[in-house]
Amino acid sequence: MIRLDKSLLSGRQCGPCTACCIDLKIADPELKKAARVPCPHLGAKGCGIYDKRPGVCREFLCGWRLFDDMTDDWRPDLSGVLVMRRAPSEMPAAWKAAPYGMHMVILGGEAAVLRPAFIAYAARTMARGIPIFLSAASPYIVLNDHVPPGADTAVLKTRLAELYPMLHAARFGQNLWQRIRFLYRLQIDRGYQKYHMKSAG
């Protein structure tokens, strides 16, 4: 049974992982930093102000530290995927009835999304009606909207191999027109999948 409460899993430590100190945007009165930029307090041995780190850092728990169905190899620096739990209030209207969502930030490129453990976990999660918000230094897509319901891992793998390059091409910092082109292609893909889901239903 997967825990829904937002509390730390005992025995799970960040260890050498510093993904959230680099990849996340922090906009807090005590600390501001851009996404994908190392925090100025991050040193070779981790947080240089650990005992005095801001509350926003003390409170943050990535999904790997919350979900007990994520095995040790899901630690973000090992898996290349930083997972964050999303409360219904943080999700689009279409998903507000779900108990929670998972934002999966891809840090490790295509290899991270084509890892068998990633595909199997994503398939199980979506089969339970939990939305997966997938981003790769890009705006997110709702993966559930791009995959036929009940898709097996082979179908999901094919879809991820098609979707990831579009997300990558639409990443922040790229040429604006390229970004718009690939965001549009992702919208078309979503519409196409939704149309076929409706036709099949």
For residue 82, the surrounding DSSP H or E stretch is: strand 81-86
CB 68 within 8 A of CB 91: no
Please count the other Cβ atoms lying within 10 Å of the Cβ belonging to residue 44: 5
Interacting residue with ligand SF4 among 18, 135, 174, 193 (CB under 6 A): 18
Closest separation in Å from C-beta 51 to ligand SF4: 10
Binding mask 80-119 for ligand SF4 (x = CB under 6 A): --x-------------------------------------
Closest separation in Å from C-beta 59 to ligand SF4: 10
Q: Which residue has the tokens 């939990």?
A: 130
For residue 109, CA distances in Å to 17, 25, 94, 137, 175 come to 17, 19, 28, 10, 19
Beta carbon nearer to ligand SF4, 14 or 170? 14
* Tokens representing residue 78 in the block: 């090992």
Beta carbon nearer to ligand SF4, 14 or 169? 14
Please count the other Cβ atoms lying within 10 Å of the Cβ belonging to residue 110: 16
Q: What are phi and psi of 196, to 5 degrees?
A: -70, -30
Segment 19 to 38, residues that bind ligand SF4, using CB under 6 A: 19-21, 31
129: alpha, beta or left? (left if phi > 0; alpha if psi -120 to 50): left
Beta carbon nearer to ligand SF4, 56 or 98? 56
How many residues in total does the chain contain?
201
Closest separation in Å from C-beta 168 to ligand SF4: 21
Q: Which residues pair with 31 in a beta bridge?
A: 28
Residue 47 interacts with ligand SF4 (CB under 6 A)?
Answer: yes
Closest separation in Å from C-beta 40 to ligand SF4: 7
Give residues in contact with ligand SF4 (CB under 6 A). Answer: 14, 17-21, 31, 39, 41-42, 47, 49, 53, 57, 60-62, 64-65, 75-76, 82
